[in-house]
Protein backbone atom coordinates (compact mmCIF):
# COMPACT_ATOMS: atom_id res chain seq x y z
CA UNK A 1 0.00 0.00 0.00
CA UNK A 2 1.25 3.45 -0.89
CA UNK A 3 -0.42 5.13 2.08
CA UNK A 4 1.13 5.23 5.53
CA UNK A 5 -0.55 5.32 8.90
CA UNK A 6 -1.03 8.99 9.93
CA UNK A 7 -0.41 10.72 13.24
CA UNK A 8 -2.23 13.91 14.09
CA UNK A 9 -2.80 16.77 16.51
CA UNK A 10 -2.26 16.31 20.27
CA UNK A 11 1.18 17.34 21.38
CA UNK A 12 0.58 21.10 21.16
CA UNK A 13 3.75 23.11 21.48
CA UNK A 14 5.75 20.24 22.88
CA UNK A 15 9.51 20.31 22.65
CA UNK A 16 11.32 17.77 20.52
CA UNK A 17 12.05 15.60 23.56
CA UNK A 18 8.47 15.80 24.83
CA UNK A 19 7.11 15.00 21.40
CA UNK A 20 9.49 12.06 21.03
CA UNK A 21 8.32 10.74 24.38
CA UNK A 22 4.70 10.96 23.24
CA UNK A 23 5.53 9.01 20.10
CA UNK A 24 7.30 6.29 22.05
CA UNK A 25 4.38 6.05 24.48
CA UNK A 26 2.18 5.26 21.47
CA UNK A 27 4.38 2.32 20.51
CA UNK A 28 6.26 4.10 17.75
CA UNK A 29 10.00 4.11 17.30
CA UNK A 30 12.24 6.90 16.09
CA UNK A 31 15.24 7.06 13.78
CA UNK A 32 17.57 9.98 13.13
CA UNK A 33 17.49 12.12 10.00
CA UNK A 34 14.84 12.68 7.38
CA UNK A 35 12.83 10.51 5.04
CA UNK A 36 14.94 11.75 2.13
CA UNK A 37 17.82 9.56 3.22
CA UNK A 38 18.75 6.26 1.63
CA UNK A 39 16.17 3.66 2.81
CA UNK A 40 18.99 1.18 3.42
CA UNK A 41 20.55 3.57 5.92
CA UNK A 42 17.20 4.04 7.65
CA UNK A 43 16.61 0.30 7.88
CA UNK A 44 19.86 -0.14 9.76
CA UNK A 45 19.59 3.03 11.81
CA UNK A 46 19.74 2.72 15.53
CA UNK A 47 16.53 3.78 17.26
CA UNK A 48 16.92 7.00 19.20
CA UNK A 49 15.54 8.01 22.57
CA UNK A 50 14.26 11.44 23.69
CA UNK A 51 17.46 11.88 25.66
CA UNK A 52 19.42 11.71 22.39
CA UNK A 53 17.77 14.88 21.06
CA UNK A 54 19.34 18.28 21.50
CA UNK A 55 18.49 21.77 20.30
CA UNK A 56 20.90 21.35 17.38
CA UNK A 57 19.90 17.77 16.64
CA UNK A 58 16.12 17.59 16.85
CA UNK A 59 15.09 16.23 13.47
CA UNK A 60 13.86 12.66 13.48
CA UNK A 61 11.51 10.33 11.64
CA UNK A 62 8.59 8.54 13.22
CA UNK A 63 8.45 4.87 12.22
CA UNK A 64 5.27 2.94 12.82
CA UNK A 65 4.95 -0.43 14.46
CA UNK A 66 1.76 -0.17 16.52
CA UNK A 67 -0.29 -2.47 14.28
CA UNK A 68 2.43 -5.14 14.29
CA UNK A 69 3.72 -7.15 17.24
CA UNK A 70 6.16 -4.98 19.15
CA UNK A 71 8.76 -7.71 18.80
CA UNK A 72 8.84 -7.25 15.01
CA UNK A 73 12.23 -5.94 13.98
CA UNK A 74 12.95 -2.98 11.73
CA UNK A 75 13.92 -5.20 8.81
CA UNK A 76 10.54 -6.96 8.77
CA UNK A 77 8.78 -3.66 9.36
CA UNK A 78 10.36 -2.06 6.33
CA UNK A 79 9.51 -5.06 4.20
CA UNK A 80 5.87 -4.20 4.88
CA UNK A 81 6.46 -0.64 3.59
CA UNK A 82 5.07 0.87 6.76
CA UNK A 83 7.48 3.75 7.15
CA UNK A 84 5.69 6.95 8.05
CA UNK A 85 7.24 9.34 5.51
CA UNK A 86 7.26 12.63 7.31
CA UNK A 87 9.92 14.54 9.24
CA UNK A 88 8.94 16.19 12.48
CA UNK A 89 10.64 19.12 14.11
CA UNK A 90 9.59 20.92 17.32
CA UNK A 91 7.92 23.82 15.49
CA UNK A 92 5.47 21.51 13.71
CA UNK A 93 4.93 19.04 16.53
CA UNK A 94 1.61 20.75 17.27
CA UNK A 95 0.20 19.12 14.11
CA UNK A 96 0.48 15.65 15.56
CA UNK A 97 -2.03 13.91 17.77
CA UNK A 98 -3.17 10.38 17.65
CA UNK A 99 -3.35 7.43 15.34
CA UNK A 100 -6.50 7.10 13.28
CA UNK A 101 -7.44 3.78 11.70
CA UNK A 102 -5.47 3.77 8.43
CA UNK A 103 -7.50 0.96 6.92
CA UNK A 104 -10.68 2.98 7.40
CA UNK A 105 -9.11 6.07 5.82
CA UNK A 106 -8.01 4.06 2.81
CA UNK A 107 -11.46 2.55 2.40
CA UNK A 108 -13.06 5.99 2.58
CA UNK A 109 -10.59 7.40 0.07
CA UNK A 110 -11.12 4.48 -2.33
CA UNK A 111 -14.87 4.95 -2.04
CA UNK A 112 -14.70 8.69 -2.72
CA UNK A 113 -12.41 8.08 -5.70
CA UNK A 114 -14.77 5.49 -7.16
CA UNK A 115 -17.73 7.80 -6.57
CA UNK A 116 -15.89 10.71 -8.21
CA UNK A 117 -15.20 8.64 -11.31
CA UNK A 118 -18.85 7.59 -11.47
CA UNK A 119 -19.83 11.26 -11.24
CA UNK A 120 -17.36 12.01 -14.03
CA UNK A 121 -18.92 9.34 -16.26
CA UNK A 122 -22.32 10.96 -15.78
CA UNK A 123 -20.91 14.38 -16.64
CA UNK A 124 -19.18 13.14 -19.77
CA UNK A 125 -22.31 11.29 -20.91
CA UNK A 126 -24.33 14.52 -20.83
CA UNK A 127 -21.62 17.01 -21.78
CA UNK A 128 -22.50 18.98 -24.88
CA UNK A 129 -26.13 19.78 -24.16
CA UNK A 130 -27.87 16.49 -23.33
CA UNK A 131 -29.47 17.86 -20.13
CA UNK A 132 -32.09 20.22 -18.74
CA UNK A 133 -31.47 23.36 -16.69
CA UNK A 134 -33.55 24.45 -13.70
CA UNK A 135 -33.45 27.41 -11.34
CA UNK A 136 -33.18 26.96 -7.58
CA UNK A 137 -34.90 29.27 -5.06
CA UNK A 138 -31.72 31.36 -4.79
CA UNK A 139 -31.86 31.85 -8.58
CA UNK A 140 -28.73 29.76 -9.17
CA UNK A 141 -28.82 27.15 -11.91
CA UNK A 142 -28.82 23.39 -11.53
CA UNK A 143 -29.00 20.66 -14.17
CA UNK A 144 -30.47 17.19 -14.13
CA UNK A 145 -26.80 16.08 -14.31
CA UNK A 146 -26.19 17.60 -10.83
CA UNK A 147 -29.35 15.83 -9.64
CA UNK A 148 -28.42 12.47 -11.17
CA UNK A 149 -25.02 12.57 -9.49
CA UNK A 150 -26.66 13.60 -6.22
CA UNK A 151 -29.11 10.68 -6.42
CA UNK A 152 -26.19 8.29 -7.01
CA UNK A 153 -24.33 9.67 -3.99
CA UNK A 154 -27.38 9.54 -1.74
CA UNK A 155 -27.94 5.91 -2.68
CA UNK A 156 -24.34 4.71 -2.36
CA UNK A 157 -22.96 6.61 0.64
CA UNK A 158 -25.51 5.60 3.32
CA UNK A 159 -25.36 2.01 2.10
CA UNK A 160 -21.57 1.73 2.26
CA UNK A 161 -20.94 4.08 5.21
CA UNK A 162 -24.21 4.28 7.17
CA UNK A 163 -22.61 6.20 10.06
CA UNK A 164 -21.21 9.01 7.91
CA UNK A 165 -23.60 11.85 7.15
CA UNK A 166 -23.98 13.64 3.83
CA UNK A 167 -23.55 17.38 3.39
CA UNK A 168 -23.78 18.14 -0.33
CA UNK A 169 -24.77 21.10 -2.46
CA UNK A 170 -27.89 19.41 -3.75
CA UNK A 171 -28.97 17.83 -0.44
CA UNK A 172 -32.48 18.91 0.49
CA UNK A 173 -31.98 18.22 4.18
CA UNK A 174 -28.34 19.07 4.89
CA UNK A 175 -27.70 19.85 8.53
CA UNK A 176 -24.51 19.89 10.57
CA UNK A 177 -24.69 17.54 13.54
CA UNK A 178 -21.98 17.77 16.22
CA UNK A 179 -20.01 14.59 16.95
CA UNK A 180 -20.89 13.10 13.57
CA UNK A 181 -18.62 12.37 10.62
CA UNK A 182 -19.59 13.74 7.20
CA UNK A 183 -18.93 13.48 3.50
CA UNK A 184 -18.88 17.03 2.12
CA UNK A 185 -19.54 16.93 -1.62
CA UNK A 186 -20.08 19.28 -4.52
CA UNK A 187 -21.71 17.01 -7.09
CA UNK A 188 -20.82 19.25 -10.02
CA UNK A 189 -18.66 22.23 -9.16
CA UNK A 190 -18.81 24.80 -11.95
CA UNK A 191 -22.34 24.14 -13.21
CA UNK A 192 -22.30 27.32 -15.32
CA UNK A 193 -19.20 26.13 -17.19
CA UNK A 194 -20.88 22.76 -17.75
CA UNK A 195 -24.06 24.40 -19.08
CA UNK A 196 -22.00 26.49 -21.50
CA UNK A 197 -20.00 23.44 -22.68
CA UNK A 198 -16.82 25.05 -21.38
CA UNK A 199 -13.92 23.42 -19.57
CA UNK A 200 -14.00 24.56 -15.97
CA UNK A 201 -16.06 22.11 -13.91
CA UNK A 202 -15.19 19.30 -11.52
CA UNK A 203 -16.39 17.01 -8.78
CA UNK A 204 -15.20 17.85 -5.28
CA UNK A 205 -15.40 15.79 -2.10
CA UNK A 206 -14.03 15.76 1.44
CA UNK A 207 -14.24 13.52 4.48
CA UNK A 208 -14.74 15.25 7.82
CA UNK A 209 -14.00 13.43 11.08
CA UNK A 210 -15.82 14.84 14.09
CA UNK A 211 -12.74 14.04 16.17
CA UNK A 212 -9.93 15.16 13.85
CA UNK A 213 -11.54 17.60 11.40
CA UNK A 214 -11.07 17.50 7.63
CA UNK A 215 -9.07 14.38 6.80
CA UNK A 216 -9.48 13.66 3.08
CA UNK A 217 -9.80 16.01 0.12
CA UNK A 218 -10.48 15.15 -3.51
CA UNK A 219 -10.97 17.01 -6.80
CA UNK A 220 -11.78 15.15 -10.02
CA UNK A 221 -11.56 16.80 -13.45
CA UNK A 222 -13.59 14.52 -15.73
CA UNK A 223 -12.69 16.04 -19.10
CA UNK A 224 -8.99 15.44 -18.41
CA UNK A 225 -9.49 12.34 -16.26
CA UNK A 226 -7.24 13.86 -13.59
CA UNK A 227 -7.78 13.06 -9.92
CA UNK A 228 -6.18 15.12 -7.16
CA UNK A 229 -6.41 13.81 -3.61
CA UNK A 230 -4.82 14.01 -0.18
CA UNK A 231 -5.06 12.52 3.28
CA UNK A 232 -4.15 15.00 5.95
CA UNK A 233 -0.58 14.48 7.11
CA UNK A 234 0.32 12.11 4.26
CA UNK A 235 0.88 14.43 1.31
CA UNK A 236 -1.05 15.20 -1.86
CA UNK A 237 -1.22 13.02 -4.96
CA UNK A 238 -2.25 13.19 -8.60
CA UNK A 239 -3.67 10.25 -10.53
CA UNK A 240 -3.61 10.50 -14.31
CA UNK A 241 -3.11 8.09 -17.18
CA UNK A 242 -3.41 5.18 -14.74
CA UNK A 243 -0.48 6.30 -12.59
CA UNK A 244 -0.38 7.81 -9.09
CA UNK A 245 2.34 10.31 -8.29
CA UNK A 246 3.03 12.18 -5.06
CA UNK A 247 3.08 15.93 -5.56
CA UNK A 248 5.94 18.12 -4.42
CA UNK A 249 5.36 21.46 -2.73
CA UNK A 250 5.91 24.23 -5.30
CA UNK A 251 8.94 26.45 -4.62
CA UNK A 252 8.36 29.71 -2.75
CA UNK A 253 8.64 32.69 -5.08
CA UNK A 254 9.43 36.37 -4.54
CA UNK A 255 6.35 38.58 -4.26
CA UNK A 256 7.05 40.10 -7.66
CA UNK A 257 6.88 36.65 -9.27
CA UNK A 258 3.67 35.42 -7.60
CA UNK A 259 0.59 34.65 -9.68
CA UNK A 260 -2.84 35.61 -8.36
CA UNK A 261 -6.28 34.11 -9.02
CA UNK A 262 -9.10 35.99 -10.70
CA UNK A 263 -12.48 34.18 -10.75
CA UNK A 264 -13.14 33.62 -14.45
CA UNK A 265 -16.86 34.24 -14.19
CA UNK A 266 -16.50 37.60 -12.44
CA UNK A 267 -17.07 40.26 -15.11
CA UNK A 268 -16.39 43.44 -13.13
CA UNK A 269 -13.12 45.22 -12.34
CA UNK A 270 -13.10 44.63 -8.58
CA UNK A 271 -10.28 42.08 -8.59
CA UNK A 272 -8.06 43.87 -11.09
CA UNK A 273 -8.53 47.15 -9.21
CA UNK A 274 -7.72 45.43 -5.91
CA UNK A 275 -4.61 43.74 -7.27
CA UNK A 276 -3.44 46.99 -8.86
CA UNK A 277 -3.57 48.65 -5.43
CA UNK A 278 -1.47 45.77 -4.07
CA UNK A 279 1.12 46.39 -6.79
CA UNK A 280 0.27 43.23 -8.73
CA UNK A 281 0.89 43.48 -12.48
CA UNK A 282 -1.69 42.37 -15.03
CA UNK A 283 0.59 39.55 -16.22
CA UNK A 284 0.55 38.11 -12.69
CA UNK A 285 -3.22 37.59 -12.75
CA UNK A 286 -4.64 34.24 -13.93
CA UNK A 287 -8.28 33.37 -14.59
CA UNK A 288 -9.49 30.49 -12.45
CA UNK A 289 -12.34 28.00 -12.39
CA UNK A 290 -12.82 24.57 -10.86
CA UNK A 291 -9.31 23.91 -12.24
CA UNK A 292 -7.85 26.24 -9.61
CA UNK A 293 -6.61 23.36 -7.45
CA UNK A 294 -4.73 21.91 -10.41
CA UNK A 295 -3.15 25.31 -11.09
CA UNK A 296 -1.92 25.40 -7.49
CA UNK A 297 -0.41 21.90 -7.51
CA UNK A 298 1.34 22.58 -10.82
CA UNK A 299 2.94 25.73 -9.43
CA UNK A 300 1.15 27.95 -11.95
CA UNK A 301 -0.90 29.72 -9.27
CA UNK A 302 0.42 30.99 -5.95
CA UNK A 303 -2.27 33.13 -4.32
CA UNK A 304 -6.06 33.15 -4.35
CA UNK A 305 -7.90 36.08 -2.78
CA UNK A 306 -11.68 35.78 -2.81
CA UNK A 307 -13.25 39.14 -1.98
CA UNK A 308 -16.58 37.72 -0.92
CA UNK A 309 -17.80 35.93 2.19
CA UNK A 310 -20.32 33.15 2.60
CA UNK A 311 -18.62 30.49 0.48
CA UNK A 312 -20.35 27.14 1.12
CA UNK A 313 -18.22 24.43 2.65
CA UNK A 314 -18.50 22.08 -0.36
CA UNK A 315 -16.65 24.70 -2.42
CA UNK A 316 -13.55 24.73 -0.19
CA UNK A 317 -13.30 21.59 1.99
CA UNK A 318 -11.69 19.21 -0.52
CA UNK A 319 -9.36 21.83 -1.96
CA UNK A 320 -8.26 22.93 1.51
CA UNK A 321 -6.94 19.49 2.43
CA UNK A 322 -5.03 19.17 -0.85
CA UNK A 323 -3.34 22.57 -0.97
CA UNK A 324 -2.44 22.55 2.73
CA UNK A 325 -0.60 19.27 2.20
CA UNK A 326 1.53 21.20 -0.30
CA UNK A 327 2.53 23.94 2.12
CA UNK A 328 -0.24 26.45 1.49
CA UNK A 329 -2.56 27.99 4.06
CA UNK A 330 -6.28 28.25 3.33
CA UNK A 331 -7.96 30.69 5.73
CA UNK A 332 -10.28 33.66 5.95
CA UNK A 333 -8.80 36.92 4.69
CA UNK A 334 -7.76 37.92 8.21
CA UNK A 335 -5.94 34.63 8.81
CA UNK A 336 -8.56 32.93 10.95
CA UNK A 337 -8.87 29.19 10.49
CA UNK A 338 -11.89 27.73 8.68
CA UNK A 339 -13.92 24.96 10.33
CA UNK A 340 -16.83 22.95 9.03
CA UNK A 341 -19.96 23.61 11.07
CA UNK A 342 -18.67 26.80 12.70
CA UNK A 343 -19.89 30.24 11.64
CA UNK A 344 -17.07 32.78 12.16
CA UNK A 345 -17.68 35.76 14.42
CA UNK A 346 -17.32 38.39 13.15
CA UNK A 347 -18.48 37.21 9.74
CA UNK A 348 -15.82 36.53 7.12
CA UNK A 349 -15.24 39.00 4.30
CA UNK A 350 -13.37 36.63 2.01
CA UNK A 351 -10.81 33.85 1.73
CA UNK A 352 -7.08 33.51 1.20
CA UNK A 353 -4.90 30.72 -0.16
CA UNK A 354 -1.16 31.40 -0.17
CA UNK A 355 2.18 29.75 0.71
CA UNK A 356 2.45 29.44 4.49
CA UNK A 357 5.74 31.42 4.77
CA UNK A 358 4.13 34.39 2.98
CA UNK A 359 0.85 34.39 4.87
CA UNK A 360 1.59 37.06 7.49
CA UNK A 361 2.95 39.48 4.90
CA UNK A 362 0.09 38.72 2.52
CA UNK A 363 -2.57 39.33 5.18
CA UNK A 364 -0.93 42.65 6.05
CA UNK A 365 -0.98 43.72 2.41
CA UNK A 366 -4.61 42.67 2.01
CA UNK A 367 -5.77 44.49 5.13
CA UNK A 368 -3.92 47.65 4.12
CA UNK A 369 -5.48 47.50 0.65
CA UNK A 370 -8.95 46.91 2.07
CA UNK A 371 -8.52 49.85 4.44
CA UNK A 372 -7.41 52.17 1.66
CA UNK A 373 -10.41 51.09 -0.42
CA UNK A 374 -12.94 51.87 2.32
CA UNK A 375 -14.53 55.34 1.97
CA UNK A 376 -13.71 57.66 4.87
How do residues 206-234 score in pLDDT, each as one tens digit? 999 998 999 999 999 999 999 999 999 89
C-alpha neighbours within 13 Å on the C-beta side of residue 218: 29
The dihedral region occupied by 157, where left means phi > 0, alpha psi between -120 and 50, and beta the remainder, is alpha
pLDDT at 18 over 60: no
Q: Give me the chain's average pLDDT, please.
A: 80
Quickly state the pLDDT bin for 61 (edges 50, 70, 90).
Answer: low
pLDDT of residue 20: 58
Quickly state the pLDDT bin for 376 (edges 50, 70, 90).
Answer: very low
What is the arithmetic mean of pLDDT over 181-209? 96
Quickly state the pLDDT bin for 16 (edges 50, 70, 90).
Answer: low
- Per the model's pLDDT, the better-predicted residue between 240 and 92 turns out to be 240
Name the 3-class secondary structure at 333: coil
Alpha helices, H only, 252-332: 270-278, 292-297, 317-324
What is the arithmetic mean of pLDDT over 139-149? 94
pLDDT at 240 over 80: yes
pLDDT of residue 103: 84
Domain annotation for the chain: domains and CATH numbers: 16-95 (no CATH), 102-246 (3.30.540.10), 255-373 (3.40.190.80)
Lowest mean pLDDT among 54-58, 98-102, 152-156, 295-299: 54-58
pLDDT at 155 over 90: yes
User: Residue 168 in contact with residue 162, Cβ under 8 Å?
Assistant: no
pLDDT of residue 81: 32
User: Residue 82 in contact with residue 4, Cβ under 8 Å?
Assistant: yes
Quickly state the pLDDT bin for 276 (edges 50, 70, 90).
Answer: very high
pLDDT of residue 346: 82
Residues annotated as binding site for Mg(2+)?
169, 186, 188-189, 315
- Per the model's pLDDT, the better-predicted residue between 22 and 145 turns out to be 145
User: Residue 356 in contact with residue 251, Cβ under 8 Å?
Assistant: no
Query: What is the per-residue pLDDT across 296-348, written as a single tens digit (0 to 9) for each?
Result: 999 999 999 999 999 999 999 999 999 999 999 999 999 999 999 988 878 88
pLDDT at 117 over 60: yes
Cross-strand pairs, 143: 133
What is the arithmetic mean of pLDDT over 94-112? 72
- Per the model's pLDDT, the better-predicted residue between 55 and 194 turns out to be 194
pLDDT of residue 100: 55
- Per the model's pLDDT, the better-predicted residue between 254 and 17 turns out to be 254
Which range is most confident: 9-18, 67-76, 80-89? 9-18
Task: Tell me the chain's radius of gyration from C-alpha atoms.
Answer: 22
> What contacts 24+ positions apart, CB below 8 Å, involve 42-48?
42/78, 42/83, 43/74, 43/75, 43/78, 44/74, 45/74, 47/74, 48/20
pLDDT at 138 over 90: no
pLDDT of residue 274: 96
Backbone dihedral angles phi then psi of residue 206, each to the nearest 5 degrees:
-150, 150
What is the arithmetic mean of pLDDT over 77-99? 35
pLDDT of residue 2: 32
Residues annotated as binding site?
169, 186, 188-189, 315
Residues 6+ apart with CB under 8 A from 221: 202, 227, 228, 290, 291, 294
pLDDT of residue 349: 87
Lowest mean pLDDT among 79-88, 157-166, 345-354: 79-88
pLDDT of residue 23: 57
The CA dihedral of 335, 340, 343, 347, to the nearest 10 degrees, is 30
Amino acid sequence: MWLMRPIFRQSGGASAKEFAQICISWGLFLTPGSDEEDPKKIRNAKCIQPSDLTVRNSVFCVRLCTFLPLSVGKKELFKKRTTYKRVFEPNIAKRITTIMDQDRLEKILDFLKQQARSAGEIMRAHYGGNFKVYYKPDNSRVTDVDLEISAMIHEQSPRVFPNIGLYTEESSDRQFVPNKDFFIIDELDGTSFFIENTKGFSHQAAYYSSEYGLMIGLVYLPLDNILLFAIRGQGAFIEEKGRIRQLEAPPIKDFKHLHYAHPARYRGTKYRDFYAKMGVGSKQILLTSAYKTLQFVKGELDVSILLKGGMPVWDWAGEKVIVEELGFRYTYLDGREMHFGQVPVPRETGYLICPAPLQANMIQQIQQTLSSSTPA
